[in-house]
Amino acid sequence: MARERLRVSLVATLYNEAKGLKAWWESILSQTRRPDELVVVDGGSRDGTPEILAELSASAPFPVSVEVVEGCGIAAGRNRAIEKVSHPVIAVTDGGCVLHPEWLERLLRPMEEDPDIALVAGFYRPLAEGFFQEVVACATIPLPEELDEESFMPSSRSIAFRRKVWEMVGGYPEWLETGEDMYFNFRWKELAIRHAVASDAVVFWPMREDARSLFRQYFRYARGDGVAGMYPRRHLLRFSAYGCLSSALLRRKKMELALLAAAGCAYASRFWRRVPVYVTGGPATRAMAYAVVPALLFYIDLAKMAGYLDGLRRRIWTRGRRP
């Protein structure tokens, strides 16, 4: 039986993406399976992003729609873009990323081969320049072999779905500042939407360039978890682990500290396995990465704990006001 060729709309939200916009646009043009249209919502960029995109897309081989909505967040921007699409299948990515040339073709393949599949989860890899970004990748970006297709929660920088999925889950949650894609995932999983994982449909995602922006990134992610009530066990486990460590340090219990250190090394081993893949340079550079990764994990955990507490505070404060 011949494979169905789906008509697909690519949607994206942008905000101050001028620096990486050309690479993002060229990666769309380089797709082996180009979208049938591109719909973009810009949240009110101050760096000329809409004007640059208008210039780049002037001779695009497919229709391009760019709308500027001042102050529009990611969730609202995605919803607005999806409301405007012309085709029944929607692929979603983010500005600033770079798409593998076969990203869209691989992302659509499961739906084209099986009409009952309504959503396909793609994957992502790091864009890293320099030592700091490489160790950030080790601490935050899983290797393809780590992916568990049953529990995998895709990012909306690499996902495709039939429009009916978006309608059934009620769209992206506009009341949620961050973590909107994870909330979207929980909703379609609750509805038992038939889906597939395309781990070879890869989007390359730039890593944060400094410690301050990295802290802010994971603070905001965890705050979104707290506001939406997502991953409570994961966060409880983190608080429990650091509570045990603090208690052992205060009481100077050497045996407990040794056991906790062993548990910490076992936990860090998963991230250490990424060092040979993500860190370039010689043996000395990689040896330094092995030492830095645990410290970076601790730093990110601090951001997550602070963010989650702030999210819980906001959740309590806004209880009853959220749709």
pLDDT at position 320 is: 47
CA distance 16 to 3: 39
Helix (H, G, I), strand (E, B) or coil at 65: strand
pLDDT at position 254 is: 87
**36 CB-near residues (< 8 Å, 6+ apart):** 7, 8, 9, 62, 63, 86, 87
Strand partners for 64:
38
Q: What is each CA distance from 30 to 21, 24, 60, 62, in whole angstroms?
A: 14, 10, 12, 13
> What 8-state DSSP symbol labels residue 146?
G
**115 CB-near residues (< 8 Å, 6+ apart):** 4
| Tokens of residue 58, six digits | 């002037």
Q: Are 129 and 23 in contact (CB under 8 A)?
A: no
What number of residues does the chain have? 323
CB burial string 59-85: b at 16+ within 10 A, e below: ebeeebbbeeeeebbbbbbbbbbbeeb
Q: Are 159 and 11 in contact (CB under 8 A)?
A: no
CA proximity to 45, closest of 79, 20, 5, 18: 18
- The per-residue pLDDT for range 106-151, each reduced to its tens digit, is 999 999 999 999 999 999 999 999 999 999 999 999 999 999 888 9
Q: Taking the model in full, what pTM does it have?
A: 0.91
Domain boundaries, the chain: 8-206, 211-317
CA distance 64 to 8: 13
- The per-residue pLDDT for range 198-218, each reduced to its tens digit, is 999 999 999 999 999 999 999
Q: Which residue has the tokens 């009341």?
A: 175
Say what percent of the chain tops pLDDT 70.
Answer: 97
How many DSSP H helices and E strands does the chain contain? 12, 8
Give yes or no for residue 323 having a pLDDT over 50: no
Q: Are 222 and 303 in contact (CB under 8 A)?
A: yes
Strand arrangement, sheet containing 159-162: 64-68, 37-42, 8-14, 89-94, 159-162, 119-127, 195-206, 98-99
- The per-residue pLDDT for range 268-292, each reduced to its tens digit, is 999 999 999 999 989 999 999 999 9
Sign of the C-alpha dihedral computed for residues 220, 221, 225 and 231 taken in this order:
negative
CA distance 141 to 124: 8
What's the CATH code, domain 8-206? 3.90.550.10
Give yes or no for residue 29 having a pLDDT over 70: yes
Category of 320 on φ-ψ map: left (φ > 0), alpha (ψ -120 to 50) or beta: left
| Tokens of residue 33, six digits | 């399976």
pLDDT at position 319 is: 67
Alpha-helical segments (H) within 62-172 = 74-84, 103-113, 131-140, 163-169
pLDDT at position 149 is: 87
